[in-house]
Amino acid sequence: MKSVFTKVHVPFILPLLLLIATAGCKSMAVEAERFYAQRIDNDESQKRAIAAAISEFMGGKKVTLADTVFMEQSTITIGRQPFLDDRGLVIDGRHNNAVMSFSLVKAADTCYLRNDDTKAEIALPAVKCRALVSPH
């Protein structure tokens, strides 16, 4: 019985298998490594983009941020305002609203706001940031 893989076929099969293997590897999406980041420019439009993303994570609640948000740190925490009565006093004298933590991270050329609790991210294409040394 004659072998299917003769000397004539082997030179054609090996490159074909290598081509298929490398094409499969190149088609797999590789996620860029995330790095903690800080904003580069103190721009009002960037601050609004960050506030909108945080508001989205907080169910549409309006948030107030410092002008220098993410300029000196890569992580912030935000607490929800307590429920107030007609006189402006905290109901029951306390609140149990959870504090939420957010980080500015950079992957490739894009900045993202990450909800540290859920690890969900929102891309911030309008925000200019620089990656810090250690990856996240």
Q: Give me the pLDDT at residue 25, please.
A: 45
Report pLDDT for 113: 98
What pLDDT is recorded for position 89?
79
Give a yes or no: residue 131 inside a domain. Answer: yes
Is 17 domain-assigned?
no
Residue 22 to residue 13: CA distance in whole angstroms: 14
Q: Residues 114, 106: contact at Cβ < 8 Å?
A: no
The boundaries of the domain holding residue 119 are 31-135
Residue 86 forms part of a structural domain: yes
Query: Residue 45 contacts by C-beta under 8 Å, 6 or more apart in sequence?
Result: 126
Q: According to the model, what pLDDT value does residue 20 have? A: 55
Question: Residue 26 has what pLDDT?
Answer: 42
**What is the count of structural domains for the chain?**
1
Ranges of residues in the chain whose predicted pLDDT is under 50: 23-29
d(CA 43, CA 41): 5
- Identify whether 4 is part of a domain: no
In this predicted structure, what is the pLDDT of residue 129?
Answer: 96
Residue that the structure tokens 């957010």 belong to: 102
Count the Cβ atoms, other than its own, within 10 Å of residue 74.
20
Tell me, yes or no, whether 83 lies in a domain: yes
Answer whether 111's CB lies under 8 Å from 131's CB: no
C-alpha atoms less than 13 angstroms from C-alpha of 8 in its C-beta half-sphere:
2
pLDDT at 123: 98
The secondary structure element, H or E, covering residue 100 is strand 99-107
- 68 within some domain: yes
Task: Check residue 86 and give its pLDDT.
Answer: 86
Evaluate whether residue 9 is within a structural domain. no
| Claim: this prediction has a pTM higher than 0.75 | no
